[in-house]
Amino acid sequence: MSHVCWQVAQGADTIGGTVIVLAADGWRLVLDLGSLYTPAQPVFDSRLRPRGIRDLQRLGRAPVVPGLFTDHQGVDSRLAVAISHAHFDHCGLLPYVRSTVPVWMTAETRRLLTALPDAGLGPEIGALDLRTACPGEPIRWGPFTLTAVLVDHDVAGACAWLVEAPGGRLAYSGDLRLHGRRPYLTWAFARRARDFQPDVLFLEGTRVRAAPSPETEQPELGEEAWAGALARCLETAPAGAYIAVYPMHTERVQALQWAVRMVGRRLMLTAPTAYLYAAMHGQVACSAVLGGDEDTWTPAVRQWLTAQRLPVWLPQQLHGQERAWVVELPYERLTAWVDIRPADGGLYIHADANPGGPFDPAWANLLHWLDVFGVRLIRLSASGHATPSDLQALLTVVQPRWLVPVHTLAPAALGAPHIRRLLVQPGQVYTASGQVCNGMSERSEGGPDG
């Protein structure tokens, strides 16, 4: 029997694009299959699209994992995937996975990933062998026993994974935070991981920077406080109020609905966001839908709107009526302002939507549009990721034998006193005890320089 070996095949020093491959006894388990998100140099975009996984691999946007993707020859019945949550930087490569490979995820993540293409907000993943992981219930896969443990993140159904394997125990955090509406989930994961006594903890470090900055440690606007902060903005808004949210964060859309109701306005969502919310919550979140883009609606969205008899407003109907509404207006729909002709004093509330900030070239363009239409920008953010000090607190609870930073631009800056850290080298394979392995199929005697 061979001991488990592991490799961070992608995402050790990037934010997202995480792919961790574990191997033991000829079996393999892949934790997350993320797309890399680099808006400053997207490599592929809406004009230049990859033809398949080979294009992504050739351009360094996907790792080579034999037997996993559709372009590869040969079926490997001893290969499986476990996904932490529905964000594309963790599951964006799923459309390229062979339909014979089992893919585990929580029920909520599965519901989201199924509803997204129906809403027109994500790629089709219909042919995959999707399997539901019940949180806390161990799943046997060859020599691996994997268990999903729920955590709090800015999307429903997010989980961490605990993996027991021959010769080692490995824990993977996925993305998590302590300032969401369910911090107790993340704490419970930390305690459960502590009891699991992991040899290796793969921990996300999104907000860790090489040099500490006030931005990464600023007092956090928690998810709970977000609706109140929004209501205060809206209360004093003299004219139109527009908002950009992340449609997949349906809990945030729910908070938006509360805030809008609190200030006596009505909520108008784009059709895909309205559909996705209803698919996840079984309720309608808005009083009307913003039309003008009907040609882009999917059949599922059209059918749902017909059944709901929700009014569809054309942008020009909002002219002179803005004060009664809060209108979801994503970047892609900014042209609606040409027809709305916003009154003076309008607000654009940016709540963790795309473009995400000045690091994205589209941000400067957003500012230009706001300037042209005289609409004031308010950023109202509640991050999906733990602050560096919260990460340290979690690490102190878990006490892994090795910390392996992932999902961060500054792996060397993530850590806690007395916890050994392993900074992975590209392409390198390791054992559970942090030693260099000769390869995924090798035995685990390892090298001298762990």
CA 253 – CA 273 distance, rounded (Å): 9
Q: Which stretch binds Zn ion (CB under 5 A): 135-143, 168-176, 231-239, 333-341?
A: 168-176
In the bound complex, what is the minimum distance in angstroms from residue 70's beta carbon to Zn ion? 24
The secondary structure element, H or E, covering residue 247 is none
| CB closer to Zn ion out of 383 and 431 | 383
**Count, residues near Zn ion per rule CB under 5 A:** 4
| CB closer to Zn ion out of 11 and 330 | 11
In the bound complex, what is the minimum distance in angstroms from residue 91's beta carbon to Zn ion? 10
CB-based contacts of 375, cutoff 8 Å, min separation 6 = 240, 242, 337, 342, 346, 347, 348
| 32 contributes a contact to Zn ion by CB under 5 A | no
In the bound complex, what is the minimum distance in angstroms from residue 154's beta carbon to Zn ion? 7
Residue from 16, 95, 120, 180 that binds Zn ion (CB under 5 A)?
16
Closest CA to 5 of 449, 448, 445: 445
Q: Which stretch binds Zn ion (CB under 5 A): 14-22, 58-66, 141-149, 369-377?
A: 14-22
| CB closer to Zn ion out of 175 and 360 | 175
* DSSP 3-state of 402: strand
Residue from 32, 108, 152, 175 that binds Zn ion (CB under 5 A)?
175
Q: Which stretch binds Zn ion (CB under 5 A): 48-56, 82-90, 273-281, 305-313?
A: 82-90
Contact between residue 170 and residue 29 where contact means Cβ atoms under 8 Å apart: no
Contact between residue 203 and residue 406 where contact means Cβ atoms under 8 Å apart: yes
* DSSP 3-state of 386: coil
CA 412 – CA 319 distance, rounded (Å): 53
| CB closer to Zn ion out of 3 and 85 | 85
Written as one letter, the residue type at 443 is R
Number of residues written out for the chain: 450
| CB closer to Zn ion out of 112 and 139 | 112
Q: Residue 97 is encoded by which pair of tokens? A: 């996975």
**Considering Cα of 314, then 315, then 316, then 317, what sign does the dihedral take?**
positive
CB-hemisphere CA count at 13 Å for 35? Answer: 22
In the bound complex, what is the minimum distance in angstroms from residue 291's beta carbon to Zn ion? 31
CA 449 – CA 156 distance, rounded (Å): 41
Q: Which stretch binds Zn ion (CB under 5 A): 12-20, 113-121, 365-373, 411-419?
A: 12-20
Hey, which residues does 159 pair with through a beta bridge? Answer: 150
> Taking CB under 5 A as the criterion, which residues in 85-124 touch Zn ion?
87, 89
Q: Which stretch binds Zn ion (CB under 5 A): 75-83, 173-181, 208-216, 284-292?
A: 173-181
| CB closer to Zn ion out of 175 and 251 | 175
In the bound complex, what is the minimum distance in angstroms from residue 169's beta carbon to Zn ion? 23
In the bound complex, what is the minimum distance in angstroms from residue 241's beta carbon to Zn ion? 27
What residues line the site for Zn ion (CB under 5 A)? Answer: 16, 87, 89, 175
